[in-house]
Each structure stands twice: as C-alpha cells, then as structure tokens.
Amino acid sequence: MKIAYADCFSGISGDMFLAALLDAGLPLDVLRADIGRLNLAEPVTLTTREVQKGSLRALKLDVETPHSRQPRFLRDVLKIVDGSSLEPAVKETSVKVFTLLAEAEARVIGLPVEKVDFHEVGLFNSIVDVVGAATGLNYLGIQRLYASPLPYGGGQIYGVHGLLPLPAPATLEIMRRAGMPLTPSETTFELVTPTGAAILAGLAVFERPRFNLNGLGAGAGHHDLPWPNVLRLMLGETEGEGAPGMVQIETNIDDMNPQMFGYVMEKLFAAGAADVYMVPMYMKKNRPATLLGVIARRQDEARLAQTILRETTSLGVRVLPLVRYEAQRRFEKVPTPFGEATIKIKLLDGRPVQAMPEYDECLRLAAECDAHLPDVYAAVLQAGRIWLEQAERSF
C-alpha cells in the first residue's frame, strides 16, 4: 500500500502541504492543469522556488490569486468544485475538506452551515490549497495519509472577526472533531491553519506507520522561526496490503421512521464514513428492524458514533476493530459515442485488472445527450474494456 506521513513538527498550512507534495514528485504542470479545470473567473498563478529555512532547504509555493473579497458560502465553493472537470476522487476529497471547514466555522460562530461566510477560507488561495492537496494525493497514488501530533502555542491573531486567540477557534474545533493529538509549543505564531487542520482531519490517521521510505518532500512555511519552519512529507509503502486503523460501527433500530435512513446515511458520509450499509432484520417480539452499519477509520469513530446517537433513535452502538484489504485505484478518461467519460481502474500489484464506469459520469452524459442511461453505461463499459485490453498488452 502506498502511504504518506506528514511530519508536522512545525505545524501545517494548506500551502505547506501542497509545496511538500510538489517537492515529493507532483509535477507543477499537473497541479496547474487541475486548478485550470476549476474554471475560476479570474486567473491563478502558481510558481515554486527553493528557499532556506534555518539549516534546511525546502520548496516554497507562491500562489497569486485575485484580491476579490466577495462573500463565499459553502454552496458557492462546492458549485465551483462540482462544476469542474476534475477527476471524481479529487472532487470527493475537496468537498470533504471544505465541508469540514464550514462545519467547524459554523460551530464556533453559532450559525447554520449554509449561512457561514468562509471569508479568507473561501477565497481562491484556499481553494487552490484544498484542490491541490487532493490532486497531489491522487496523482502520487497515496492510499493512506498518516500524520504526527500537531504543535499548538499561544498568542493572538487578527482575522475577519477581530483579535482571536491561537489556535484559531475554527482550527481548534477541527482539532476537537478529529481527536487530534497535540503537543505544546512556546511560539506565538499560528503554526496550524484551519485549511491545514481540515486536510489532516478529513484525510489522515494520526499514527506513525511502519513502512519502507522511497520519497520525501519538504514544504516551506511563511514565517522564519527559531527552528526550520518546514513540513516534511515522507512517501513509502507498507509491507502488506491491509488497511489498519479501521472500525465497524453497528446498531439495531426498530422504532424509527424508515424515511429518515436516507438522511442519516448522508450525515454519516459527511462525517467521514468510508461506507454505510443497512440490512433488514427481525428483533425481539418479531419486530421488523434495520441493522445500520458503518465502516470507518478509527480516528473518525467517536464523531460517527455521536452522529448515529444524535440523528437516530438508537440508545447505543457497538464498535469492533477491523482490518480491510484494499486494491489500488486510479481514474482514466476514455472516449465514447456520448463524449469523454471517466472510468475507475482497479490495480493489483500495480497491474490494471478491471475498468468500470463511474455512475455519476454516465448520469451526466445521459442528461447532456438526452440518451438512455443503460445505453450510456454500456458504451462506457465497452470503452473501459478496450482501455484495459490495451493496458494489459503493455505488461
């Protein structure tokens, strides 16, 4: 399994993480291409340069974005991402991180999520950071992201809401939701930004894995500190394909309106569930009931259990440790009579063994071409088979 470990001894921001991905092997042209797929109203310029931070070299990413301060709500940011031609995996990751940011901000200012104005978080530079992080992890084939404990200091910072304590309230809320391990620091600088915290909260497991190191990137922060202000990103592979740190959360429900289960499923996926399933069953007194189950990372366990207890009639959940074996995956574009479509490639030991249509892509093409969905699906499936046959010849 391909993994990455974020060594956050000097904290993390979105641009530090993205610079580390670039230094570790993400081509700048690939990043620029994906940012271009967002179809932003105004241009974004991305450049990199090597800098010295204390005794260490690192890559600094400079992002020149429009200076517009127009209000941006979650729906506006999601509209930009959903309306782009990004790969589905990149879209999914980006939406997850921005949703975490919005929920944390809503909690600290006491407003519904839909009324939260992202302010700086919703501006173009943060969109670049989040989408760029998703692009980099997808391009490098990272199947699991790990992270070290995060440093937290004191002091204050000026923001849109005035003078605020550090860690910033939204950052602290993200840390709380993810149950992040923290380590004290004497600094009065902001070491962990909301965007950096949200990337780790949505994607990382806070453990030090055992792995074979084969890549390394260093992303530079803005400030010059008494120590090298650098985020180190280590790339490597674990010896087995098992995915540690997973849990199975279940509960039996026999007294809830079944119409509510769809809503609960959406809430669980938004809270970080890897999968959600429901099984009809009978309980005591021959009552028809539903087994509600969730597969999730261990770090998301508490948040998902609380979601079930809050959004259903359940009085308790059970949690079992789980090991999941995962195939590698990537996405490719293929031509079809209805237009270009995305297929999901399954790989075993780096070899493509299956190519399947992406349902959302088929649905989009059917709507755009006023065609029958089964016909579009069959055409994309056939295009995937042709792609797979061509790929197999190269091995």
Q: Which CATH superfamily is domain 243-325 in?
A: Transcriptional regulatory protein pf0864 domain like (3.30.70.1380)
Where would I find the H helices in the chain? Answer: 14-24, 28-36, 74-82, 88-109, 124-139, 169-178, 194-203, 261-270, 301-311, 359-369, 373-393
Q: What is the pTM of this model?
A: 0.66
Question: In 3D, which of 68, 4, 3, 2 has the Cα closest to residue 232?
Answer: 4
Provide the residue ranges of all domains of the chain, joining segments of one domain with +: 2-237, 243-325, 328-393
pLDDT for the residue 266: 93
pLDDT for the residue 115: 81
Q: Which CATH superfamily is domain 328-393 in?
A: mk0293 like domain (3.10.20.300)
Kindly give the confidence (pLDDT) of every residue in the chain, 395 residues in length, as a single tens digit, with 9 standing for 90 and above: 789 999 999 999 999 999 999 999 999 999 999 999 998 877 889 999 999 999 999 999 998 876 655 657 888 888 889 889 898 889 989 999 999 888 888 888 888 888 877 764 546 788 899 999 999 999 998 988 999 999 998 877 776 667 788 888 889 999 998 889 999 988 888 899 999 999 999 899 898 888 889 999 999 999 899 999 999 999 998 865 444 578 999 999 999 999 999 999 999 998 889 899 999 999 887 889 999 999 998 878 888 999 999 999 999 999 988 877 777 788 888 999 999 998 999 988 778 899 999 998 899 999 999 999 999 999 999 999 999 998 887 76
pLDDT for the residue 244: 52
Name 174's Cβ contacts closer than 8 Å, sequence gap at least 6. Answer: 100, 101, 104, 180, 194, 197, 198, 201
- Cα torsion 370, 371, 376, 378 to 10°: value is 180
Length of the chain: 395
Question: In 3D, which of 173, 195, 174 has the Cα closest to residue 12?
Answer: 195
Same fold across 243-325 and 328-393: no
User: What does DSSP say about strands 288-297 and 242-253: parallel, antiparallel, or unpaired?
Assistant: antiparallel
